[in-house]
Amino acid sequence: MLSKTIKRVSRNMKENAFLFTELVNRDFQQRYKRTVLGMAWSILSPLLQLLVMMVVFSHMFGRGVEHYTIYLFAGNITFSYFSESTNNGMRSLMENSAILSKINVPKYLFLLSQNVSALINYALTIAVFFLFCIGDGIKFTPAFFTLWYPILCFVIMNIGIGMVLSALYVFFRDIAYLYRVFLTLLSYLSAIFYTIDSFPATFQRLFLLNPVYVNIKFWRLVVLDGIVPSAMYHLLLAGYAVLFLAIGAFFYKKFNHRFVYYF
C-alpha cells in the first residue's frame, strides 16, 4: 500500500511539476513583496536576531563556551527554519482556500511549495553560517559532509508536522495561537543559547525527546567538535522524521476530503 501511495504521489508530482514551480515561485515572491531589501532579509533577519542574542546572552551563558557565536548561530538558524516551515505549512491550505474550493488540484502541493520556499531561505542562512564559521576560525573537517543528513530529516519531519497543523488549522483556527505559545516554549527547551552540561545526566537525556534539540546538537557536534555524531543521533533524527511524516499522512488522508466543507 505504501509503495502504491508513493507511486501515486510521484505521478501526481510529475503531472503537476509546472504548477509546483509556479507555486514555489509565488510563495517566494510573496514573502518579500513590497520590501525595499527584498531577498536580503533572508540573510539580514537571522543576523539581526543573532546580534541581539549575542548582546543579551554572551555574558550570561557564553562564558566557557568556545565559539559561542557559532554555537548560538547554529541553534538559531535551525530553530528559525523549523518555526518558519511549520508555521507557513500550517497556513498553506487555509490561505489557498479560494483556489482549493474552485479547482480540483492536489492540496498537498500547496504545503510542499511552502516548505520548499522555507528551505530555500534556510539554504541562504546556512551559507551565511558557513561564512561566519570561516570568520571565527572553525576548522572544516570531513564530518561536514554529513550535514545533509539532519537537513533531509528535518525537511521530512517539517512536512509531516505541516500536514498535521494544516489539517488542524482548517478545523480549529485557535491552533495558530496555541502553536505560537508552544514554539516559544520549545525555543527555550532547545538549548539555543545555553548549554545543558550543567544539568544532571538523567535530565540531559530528556532533551533528546525534542527533535529540534537533537538536530541542533547534530550540527554542533559536526561544526564545533568536528566529529561525526553517533548512530544514536542518526537514528533519532530518522525516527522523528518517519514518525511525524506518518502522523501527518494519516491526518491528511483522514481529513483530505473534509477540508473543503470548512473553507
Which one, 105 or 124, has the nearer CB to another protein? Answer: 105
Among 66, 174, 188, 235, contact with another protein (rule: CB under 8 A) = 174
Determine the Cα–Cα distance for residues 149 and 142; give it in Å rounded to an integer: 14
Stretch that binds another protein, among 5-13, 97-105, 111-119, 149-157 (CB under 8 A): 97-105
Counting contacts by CB under 8 A, is residue 30 touching another protein? Answer: yes
Counting contacts by CB under 8 A, is residue 94 touching another protein? Answer: no
The angle subtended at Cα 75 by Cα 136 and Cα 52, nearest 5°, is 75
Among 15, 135, 232, 243, contact with another protein (rule: CB under 8 A) = 15
Q: 236: Cβ–Cβ under 8 A, 6 or more apart, which residues? A: 208, 211, 214
Counting contacts by CB under 8 A, is residue 105 touching another protein? Answer: yes
CA neighbor of 221 nearest in space, from 151, 156, 141: 141
For the chain, first and last CA: distance in Å? Answer: 30
Counting contacts by CB under 8 A, is residue 139 touching another protein? Answer: no
Q: How many CA atoms lie within 13 A of 210 on its CB side?
A: 21
Counting contacts by CB under 8 A, is residue 7 touching another protein? Answer: no
Determine the Cα–Cα distance for residues 57 and 185; give it in Å rounded to an integer: 18
CA neighbor of 208 nearest in space, from 179, 188, 224, 232: 232
Counting contacts by CB under 8 A, is residue 148 touching another protein? Answer: no
Counting contacts by CB under 8 A, is residue 262 touching another protein? Answer: yes
Q: 165: Cβ–Cβ under 8 A, 6 or more apart, which residues? A: 86, 89, 90, 175, 179
Counting contacts by CB under 8 A, is residue 260 touching another protein? Answer: yes
Q: What is the DSSP string of 79-94?
A: HHHHHHHHHHHHHHHH
Cell numbers for 239? 525516527
CB atoms within 10 A of CB 191: 22
Residues binding another protein: number (CB under 8 A): 30
Among 77, 93, 100, 241, contact with another protein (rule: CB under 8 A) = 100
Among 8, 11, 102, 254, contact with another protein (rule: CB under 8 A) = 102
Counting contacts by CB under 8 A, is residue 18 touching another protein? Answer: yes
Counting contacts by CB under 8 A, is residue 33 touching another protein? Answer: yes
Counting contacts by CB under 8 A, is residue 103 touching another protein? Answer: yes
Which one, 2 or 98, has the nearer CB to another protein? Answer: 98
Stretch that binds another protein, among 68-76, 83-91, 93-101, 196-204 (CB under 8 A): 93-101
Counting contacts by CB under 8 A, is residue 205 touching another protein? Answer: no
Task: Decide if 114 contacts 88 (C-beta within 8 A).
Answer: yes
| Contact set with another protein (CB under 8 A) | 15-16, 18-19, 22-23, 26, 29-30, 33, 96, 98-105, 170-175, 178, 257, 260-262
